[in-house]
Amino acid sequence: MSALRVVHYLNQFFGRIGAEEAGDHPFTVKEGPVGPGAGLQKELGDGGTVVATLICGDNRAATDLDAFGAEVEKALREHKADVLVAGPGFNAGRYGLACGEACARAAAMGIPAVTALNTENPGLDLYRKKTYILPTTPTAVGMNETLGRLARFAVRIGRHEEIGSPAVEGFYGKGVHHTRILERPAAERALDMLLARMTGATFQTELALPPVDRVAPAAPIADVTKARLAIVTTGGIVPKGNPDRLKQSNSTEWREYSIEGIDGLEAGKYESIHSGYDASAANSNPNYVVPLDALRELEKAHAFGALYPRYIVTIGVGTAVVEARKMGREIAAALKTQGVDGVILTAT
Amino acid sequence: MTAKTLELRTFDVDRVAFGDRAALDGRTLTIDRDEVATLAASDPAFTGVDVILVKPHESVRIPQITDVVEPRTKSGGTGGVFPGLLSPVEPVGTGRTDRLRGVAVVTAGAVPWLGAKGLFVPHDSVLDMDGPGADLHPYADLHLVVLRFHFADGVDHEGYERALLLAGEKVARALAIVARDAEPTAVETRALSAPASPLPRVVYAYQVQSQGVFLRSRLYGRILDELQPSLLHPNELADGALTSGGLGGHGAKMHTWMHQNNALVERLMAGHGSRWDFAGIVLHRGHFYIYEDKQRVALRLAESATLLGATGVVFTLGGAGNNVTEVMLAIQECERRGIKTVLITWEHAGPDGSDYPLPFAVPEAVAIVSTGNLDEPLSLPAMARVAGDAAIRVRPEVGGMPFPIDAGIELERRTFYAGAANPLGFGRSGSVET
């Protein structure tokens, strides 16, 4: 089998142009391998030849990904690429985006592509559905080992070999799960897996759970007696009758309702539409979930500066993490523009 | 001490028909429709009942299911089936039990909402006996005796719940009693005698859901809303010590039939003494509101498994949501003690399958069997007939909206589909990642 024509993408730093000061370096193509490309070539062996190296400054690429992508496409065509390898991009944010975009463009042209990014790299979630991404270390300490995996993977996709599941093949996968009817009942699969574990045999989990996101708390408010506070709840308290027809679960929306001039939420005028808890206590006294009564007392006692005149509500049950994250960002941004210093978050 | 031993007699049924007297002739079960209707609807909570027969894989859609029960009765030994409900609280799981295999009683009907909203309503579901939906629940191969109830006014949800529970169990017991003098298809002796040679010891951590009148489980008739982890012998399941309850249900509901025939317990018993030593069941509940309560459950589970000498523990989930936390904390505690774990779970991966699949996780949960994504939409073709109302009620948060089911249907999520979560691993559903 003849050697594959491999094109390699690097940023300005690994492409030996310069460090941060060269971040605006324009898209450049060099013949043959550059920098880590030498290691890549060594790992490819007879399987492939690094025919060209594409180099672009991180700022240049990340600020105009469309233009960058167009340059990548042109270079891939000119060099008749069989396969594109990008990076590894480690945990470098802008570099990760460029690696992802370059690979996505290649894949869209029908040219197999692979990159390697650290799990924290924002490029991972943006591009995992469009290209193969292998895991790697946060920094270049794992360069040699990663180049080995990239080279082996590049040869396999370059030869259009069958690629198995992400768990087996060691790439991130699209992270998309489909329900299928398999050969054996789940109970049988589970007991075989348990027996394998108990007897020290190898086993393969059907579901790998990435580490749960941990959010670092914000710095404390310096002087809470001057702070403007807002109430944000996932407890599903809405004006009686649910005027905006919010959904009782799997929420994708949040709303603001005025609390201006009122000292507490009156039973009968507000209700819980949350489908995940017994709403009878909340309906008998909506302040249990939106503690407006207590906060008004504290406000009058000058325990804090002032209460934001609206409360924010969504329904926190069955909500997709991606939707929760989006709503969280929207709410935080909206409150920030209103000069809110702190938030009382109530869950249920 | 002698091991708890149960002689389980199975009577296969491959035909069910109405007739003028209840009988089992060979494999044909004859049912007296009026007798069943009178027995089922005797409670003042009902104004009447339709008794509907459904054949295996018949093109039928069954809506608004509350429970599914396998006909069983005791024909020897102490106690009776469904102890604490139909029978006194006496030891069960010994002596002799008769079961009709291939037929089940289904309690169904539009339970009045009585103005309830949110989680706390009788959730409507559907179940297809044919088409792609038939692969998602364990009932497609069975003859079903569907009891579609009509509900009286002036009764509260507790009244409806108890009436439905007892009706399903009474009819199931009555159907099984006719087998008493017939010839069983199979006779099996079940005990957890210690195996001759040392084998890995397996404990089953069995989580149930019990959160009030709409999502309820019972052990010997006792409601399990405050259950602390409790040891159970598999033979107690065989006699209906653990029953489902609650009004209506969702895709993760475990019906009484599933407890009676628990897919894991059946396999654990089959491999007992040859592949492993089945040490017993620890029954527990999730959905505690306070984190410390979740930790208490996890500690009691791990302590029980340790005392039982477990090498491994297999976990299943009771319900969807924060009950995953109790299980995950228990997995963590077991693994820290060197006890290997496997979890069977469905996923909440969002409609497109790309979301984080569970509400909580620990790094020690490294061995998981997935039964698929409960958030995935489901297209179901029209069935030739609907064994009940032509529409179910959805969107309780806006007071309910009718959702027609007498044509092809597009379910936004599988939570409306009875059995779709495959919570006890009966079905072959799984998850494939791309």
Q: What is the pLDDT along chain A (348 residues), one digit of tens a residue?
A: 689 999 999 999 999 999 989 999 999 999 999 999 999 999 999 999 999 999 999 999 999 999 999 999 999 999 999 999 999 999 999 999 999 999 999 999 999 999 999 999 999 989 999 999 999 999 999 999 999 999 999 999 999 998 877 877 889 988 789 999 999 999 999 999 999 999 999 999 999 887 777 788 889 999 999 999 999 999 999 999 999 999 888 888 999 999 999 999 999 999 999 887 878 899 999 999 999 999 999 999 999 999 999 999 999 987 877 788 889 999 999 999 999 999 999 988
- In this structure, what are the phi and psi dihedrals at residue A68, rounded to the nearest 5 degrees? -60, -45
The verdict on A166 touching B (C-beta cutoff 8 Å) is yes
- Distance CA(A291)–CA(B218), nearest Å, equals 36
The confidence score (pLDDT) of residue A280 equals 85
Relative orientation angle of helices B323-336 and B291-307, to the nearest 10 degrees: 40
- Distance CA(B149)–CA(B144), nearest Å, equals 15
Q: Do A166 and B352 touch (CB under 8 A)?
A: no
**CB pairs < 8 Å spanning A and B:** 215
The verdict on A179 touching B (C-beta cutoff 8 Å) is yes
Q: Do A177 and B347 touch (CB under 8 A)?
A: yes
The confidence score (pLDDT) of residue A176 equals 86
Q: What is the dihedral sign for C-alpha B159, B161, B163, B166?
A: negative
Q: What is the dihedral sign for C-alpha A142, A145, A149, A155?
A: positive
- Distance CA(A329)–CA(B337), nearest Å, equals 40
pLDDT tens for B260-316 read 999 999 999 999 999 999 999 999 999 999 999 999 999 999 999 999 999 999 999
Question: Of the candidates B118, B266, B343, which has its C-beta nearest A279's C-beta?
Answer: B118
Between residues 258 and 297 of chain A, which touch chain B (CB distance below 8 Å)? 271-280
Secondary structure of residue B314 in the 3-state scheme: strand
CA distance B240 to chain A (A): 21
Q: By the 8 A CB rule, do A189 and A206 touch?
A: yes
- Exposed, middle or buried by CB within 10 Å (0-12, 13-18, 19+), for B286? buried
Tell me the C-alpha to C-alpha distance, in Å, between residue B9 and each of A182, A204, B144, B176: 31, 38, 20, 11
- The predicted model gives B62-84 an average pLDDT of 97
Query: How many of the other CB atoms lie within 10 Å of CB of A18?
Result: 12
Any idea what DSSP says for residue A183?
S
Q: Do A177 and B413 touch (CB under 8 A)?
A: no
CA distance A247 to chain B (A): 7
The confidence score (pLDDT) of residue B216 equals 95
Q: Do B367 and A183 touch (CB under 8 A)?
A: no
pLDDT beyond 80 at B434: no
- Exposed, middle or buried by CB within 10 Å (0-12, 13-18, 19+), for A259? buried
pLDDT tens for B315-328 read 999 998 889 999 99
Q: What is the dihedral sign for C-alpha A126, A131, A132, A137?
A: negative
Residue A181 in tokens: 């009817």
Q: By the 8 A CB rule, do B417 and B251 touch?
A: yes
Secondary structure of residue A332 in the 3-state scheme: helix
The confidence score (pLDDT) of residue B118 equals 63
State the distance between the two ends of chain A, measured CA to CA, in whole angstroms: 62
Q: By the 8 A CB rule, do B296 and B268 touch?
A: no
E-only strand ranges, A293-333: 306-307, 310-313
H or E element, residue B306: helix B291-307
Which amino acid would we find at residue B333?
Answer: E
Q: Which residues of A184-214 are buried (b: 16+ CB within 10 A; e: fewer)?
A: ebbbbbbbbbbbbbbeeeebebbbebeeeee
> How many Cα atoms sit within 13 Å of A147 on the Cβ side?
20
Mean per-residue pLDDT over chain B, rounded: 95
pLDDT beyond 80 at B2: no
Chain A positions in Cβ-Cβ contact with residue B354 (cut-off 8 Å): 129, 174-177, 322
- The predicted model gives B205-209 an average pLDDT of 98
Distance of CA B430 to the CA centre of its chain: 19
Which amino acid would we find at residue A316?
Answer: G
The confidence score (pLDDT) of residue B396 equals 82
Question: Of the candidates B312, B368, B425, which has its C-beta nearest A198's C-beta?
Answer: B312
Question: Is the pTM above the cut of 0.90?
Answer: no
Between residues 102 and 161 of chain A, which touch chain B (CB distance below 8 Å)? 129
